[in-house]
A and B are shown apart, each in its own frame.
Chain A
Amino acid sequence: MKHLPALLFFVFILISCDSVKTYDPPRDFQNIEKDLQTKFILAENNSVIQLDAGDYKFSKSLILEGKENVTIRGKGIFKTILSFKDQKDGAEGIRIANCKNITLEDFSIEDAAGDNIKVTDTDGITLRKIKSAWTGIVNEKNGAYGLYPVLCRNVLIEECEVLGASDAGIYVGQSYDVIIRKNIAYWNVAGIESENSVDVKIYGNRAFENTGGILVFDLPGLTMTGENIEVYSNEVYKNNLRNFAPPGNIVGIVPPGTGMLILATRKVDVHDNQIKDNRTIGIGIISYELVDIISERPEDPSSRDRGRSGQGVDRKYKQDLKYDPYPGDILIYENHFSSRYLIPDLRNPFGKIFLWKFGFKPPQIAWDGIKPEGYLLSDGRENPAYRICVEESEDVKRVILDAANDFKGLTADPEALSCD
């Protein structure tokens, strides 16, 4: 490393280029709060709530509860603006709960105290042509999720634009039958995230300038575990934003410069994506064990600081017997990788390791290499349930980190993740 001083200088220049992201649309607010609250509450089944053009500000959440076949429709994302700036009551902007077949479309929603649109316990939810944003400088005080269906079935999110979320712009959790397509996600910590969900298709989206572009996570201790996720034909680029998640949230583990990250999920197909200029890794595949390792863990259990710092990692994940902390049955093929960056992002341990081990040729695909018991079957073959198969051209660099052993066995063997 004789060029280290020059290299460090170069790196310093790169890091200091992380520009401030700001979204400051002009607004001229009117008050229709009581009228619209009443319409939400009294909405008949099989009806449409039409929102006129205008900038409207609300002091409390708008709640749609227990309704069927209701559409809430604005005049377009530039014309109908629902703002929850300085919200006093409730954590969400719009909350949809215990409904069937609800469509929200053609409006902008901004600045909720918590999540902009939360949908829970609903069968049939379409979010279409909605712009979800937090205004001002993108920062950790922004709300957590832009569009947030959880515990739902039959979810469709399409042609939406999401920015500024301090967790995920589009997040679907603990849901079945989900389509996320043709959306644009930028300036969030996570652009698009599927968590503990089953039968999810994520395609035709553009995720750029987030900390991580697309995440597929499975976390312990929840109502269900996820599987059957297909991520294809997305453009995932320049996801190099600093991680501005408030500490204590799992998404805080995502290194800046991550294209896609698959955590502890099974049956994930990733293909035909354009993955470009993500400075740490194109696609990362990791176990919850790695999450546990990389988060701070003070040695002294009586330490007064043991609740502070680090991320929201569940040390007791092994107590959740339904939870499998390892990824498996992962298939990655025919993606297109490119990067103009020679040096990985050094604000995270992985970037540093990659620079140290590979110099100016950082890898595109990395697996933490942490193997569960039962990784090999009794006859010595790999257990298909834990298999990670990469079928990409030879110039796509793939590495096994051996993260459980301080990266000692780190390898960049093109055959390493081949399943032929």
Chain B
Amino acid sequence: MLDVGENVAYSKVGKLKLSDYGLFQQPLNELNPARKMMLYDLNTPLFTDYAGKERYIFIPEGSSSRYNTEAVLEFPDSTILVKNFFYSNQQLEAENRKIIETRLLIKEKDKWIALPYIWNEEQTEAFLEITGGTVPVQLTGMLQPFEYRVPTMMQCKSCHELNGKIVPIGPTVRQLNRNNNYPKGPQNQLERMIELGWLDDYEDQFKWPLAAVWDNEKAFSLEERARSYLEINCGHCHRPGGPGKNSGLDLTVFASSEHSLGIMKAPVAAGAGSGGMQYDIVPGNPEESILVFRMTSENPGIMMPELGRSLIHHEGIELIEEWINSLD
């Protein structure tokens, strides 16, 4: 088991314990907000080894964020984005859920910092661990435990980067544009932000863009679901200005051409990641598409995303295969 505790050497980076922020009431593992925070979900989330995620936004009193049509909301200083990663009691065949880690994105003086906190076995506290860690997890239906990997502080930025600066990835208008359960009942998350006084300069509601829900076949087309999945899982790196920009691939929903989206695009610096294939996406032929090959790999020199997963997301791969099969 991972040995976690306070490490004073980290005190210049951030608070040593999650409880030091006063975000949640005791007992901490119930994750009941102690401050005015808003629970939120994304229409299509990043895959993280089948972990559940409970996200909160904290915006200080008197401040608000600004609406953006495409990019993430512009949050004010002292904003905290809180993301708790856990496995449910069903997933673990245990009495209680188990929270593995809590990642904080904190904006100070116009700059974001990213901090990983790892929960102790007793689930009473999470401690700052800038070098990340490995937590063995045994999921129901899996033959062996796998190693859940908490990123290092630097690995956080390997994904959360745009033009050299740390940025949040999830909270765009199109991802937040969905209902959640609030004290008054189900309500749109953006409406809730407006009600809290946390969103300025917003467009009329009918103009709010909407990101497809990757596993909702009734409401969204195959193309929409696949593109939404690729954007949140890959597009944070593979976009203009992102850490993976050197290959010219753009997997956001804003990709300017089929070629920049990877269709019949040759790799640039893939090495063994090519899997002996020539193109990122070959229409009608997922088994000859590098994209699928890399999503299906567990080898760190080949797999995509490079970080943040130890397991293969079979349902996501099925979606992408189905989409590539549908292309001419």
Give CA–CA (A263, B289) in the complex, Å.
Answer: 26
Q: Which residues of B contact A64 (CB under 8 A)?
A: 154
Give CA–CA (A141, B276) in the complex, Å.
Answer: 11
Please state if A90 and B300 are interface contacts (CB–CB under 8 Å).
yes
Please state if A150 and B246 are interface contacts (CB–CB under 8 Å).
yes
Stretch at the interface among B38-46, B101-109, B215-223, B260-268: B260-268
User: Is B322 on the interface with A (CB-CB < 8 A)?
Assistant: no
User: Is A173 on the interface with B (CB-CB < 8 A)?
Assistant: yes
Please state if B266 and A312 are interface contacts (CB–CB under 8 Å).
yes
User: A-B contact count, CB below 8 Å?
Assistant: 177
For B, the interface residue count at a CB cutoff of 8 angstroms equals 53
Q: Chain B nearest CB: distance from A124 CB in Å?
A: 14
A89-B307 in contact given A41-B152, A60-B132, A306-B285 (Cβ < 8 Å): yes
Give CA–CA (A49, B21) in the complex, Å.
Answer: 32
Stretch at the interface among B27-35, B80-88, B157-165: B157-165
Q: Which residues of B contact A315 (CB under 8 A)?
A: 264, 266
Please state if B149 and A89 are interface contacts (CB–CB under 8 Å).
yes
Chief secondary structure at chain B's binding surface: loop
Please state if B132 and A246 are interface contacts (CB–CB under 8 Å).
no
Please state if A88 and B268 are interface contacts (CB–CB under 8 Å).
no
Q: Which residues of A contact B299 (CB under 8 A)?
A: 113
Q: Chain A nearest CB: distance from B201 CB in Å?
A: 30
Please state if B155 and A63 are interface contacts (CB–CB under 8 Å).
yes
Please state if A308 and B277 are interface contacts (CB–CB under 8 Å).
yes
User: Is B288 on the interface with A (CB-CB < 8 A)?
Assistant: yes
Q: Which residues of B contact A143 (CB under 8 A)?
A: 271-272, 301
Please state if B9 and A42 are interface contacts (CB–CB under 8 Å).
yes
User: Is B191 on the interface with A (CB-CB < 8 A)?
Assistant: no
Q: Chain B nearest CB: distance from A63 CB in Å?
A: 4
Please state if B278 and A174 are interface contacts (CB–CB under 8 Å).
no
A40-B154 in contact given A113-B301, A145-B271, A247-B277 (Cβ < 8 Å): yes
Please state if B13 and A114 are interface contacts (CB–CB under 8 Å).
no
Give CA–CA (A304, B289) in the complex, Å.
Answer: 11
Partner of B278, one of A33, A87, A304, A307: A307
Please state if B271 and A87 are interface contacts (CB–CB under 8 Å).
no
User: Is A38 on the interface with B (CB-CB < 8 A)?
Assistant: yes
Please state if B131 and A223 are interface contacts (CB–CB under 8 Å).
no
User: Is A91 on the interface with B (CB-CB < 8 A)?
Assistant: yes
A249-B270 in contact given A308-B277, A315-B264 (Cβ < 8 Å): yes
B130 nearest in chain A by CB position: A41
A174 nearest in chain B by CB position: B246
Give CA–CA (A95, B229) in the complex, Å.
Answer: 27
A91-B246 in contact given A66-B157, A314-B266 (Cβ < 8 Å): no
For A, the interface residue count at a CB cutoff of 8 angstroms equals 63
Per-residue CB proximity of A61-97 to B under 8 Å, as 1/0?
1011110000000000000000000011111000101
Give CA–CA (A397, B198) in the complex, Å.
Answer: 74
Q: Which residues of B contact A88 (CB under 8 A)?
A: 147, 149, 300
Give CA–CA (A87, B290) in the complex, Å.
Answer: 22
Q: Chain A nearest CB: distance from B280 CB in Å?
A: 9
Q: Which residues of A contact B192 (CB under 8 A)?
A: none
Partner of B307, one of A90, A114, A249: A90
Q: Chain A nearest CB: distance from B91 CB in Å?
A: 22
Please state if A248 and B267 are interface contacts (CB–CB under 8 Å).
yes
Partner of A314, one of B155, B265, B274, B275: B265
Q: Chain B nearest CB: distance from A90 CB in Å?
A: 6
Q: Which residues of B contact A89 (CB under 8 A)?
A: 149, 155, 300, 307
Please state if B9 and A38 are interface contacts (CB–CB under 8 Å).
yes
Please state if B307 and A219 are interface contacts (CB–CB under 8 Å).
no
User: Is A140 on the interface with B (CB-CB < 8 A)?
Assistant: yes
Please state if A98 and B161 are interface contacts (CB–CB under 8 Å).
yes
Please state if A97 and B264 are interface contacts (CB–CB under 8 Å).
no
Q: Chain B nearest CB: distance from A290 CB in Å?
A: 15
Please state if A140 and B272 are interface contacts (CB–CB under 8 Å).
yes
Please state if A316 and B155 are interface contacts (CB–CB under 8 Å).
no
Q: Which residues of B contact A174 (CB under 8 A)?
A: 246
Give CA–CA (A222, B246) in the complex, Å.
Answer: 7
Task: Output the residue of B267, B269, B277, B290 with the most chain A CB within 10 A.
Answer: B269
Q: Which residues of B contact A115 (CB under 8 A)?
A: 271
Q: Chain A nearest CB: distance from B54 CB in Å?
A: 24
Partner of B246, one of A34, A113, A151, A249: A151
Please state if B271 and A316 are interface contacts (CB–CB under 8 Å).
no
Give CA–CA (A68, B248) in the complex, Å.
Answer: 27
Q: Chain B nearest CB: distance from A318 CB in Å?
A: 11
Q: Chain B nearest CB: distance from A7 CB in Å?
A: 33
User: Is A305 on the interface with B (CB-CB < 8 A)?
Assistant: yes
Q: Chain B nearest CB: distance from A176 CB in Å?
A: 14
Q: Chain B nearest CB: distance from A165 CB in Å?
A: 9
User: Is B208 on the interface with A (CB-CB < 8 A)?
Assistant: no
Besides A65-B154, A97-B161, A248-B278, 15 new A-B residue pairs in contact (Cβ under 8 A), listed by A number:
A42-B13, A63-B152, A88-B147, A90-B155, A91-B301, A95-B158, A113-B301, A145-B271, A221-B260, A248-B266, A248-B277, A302-B284, A306-B288, A312-B270, A313-B278
Q: List 15 A-B contacts (CB under 8 A).
A: A33-B131, A37-B152, A42-B12, A87-B301, A89-B155, A90-B158, A121-B164, A222-B268, A247-B276, A248-B274, A304-B285, A308-B276, A311-B278, A316-B264, A319-B259
The 3 closest A-B pairs by CB, nearest first: A144-B271, A248-B274, A307-B288
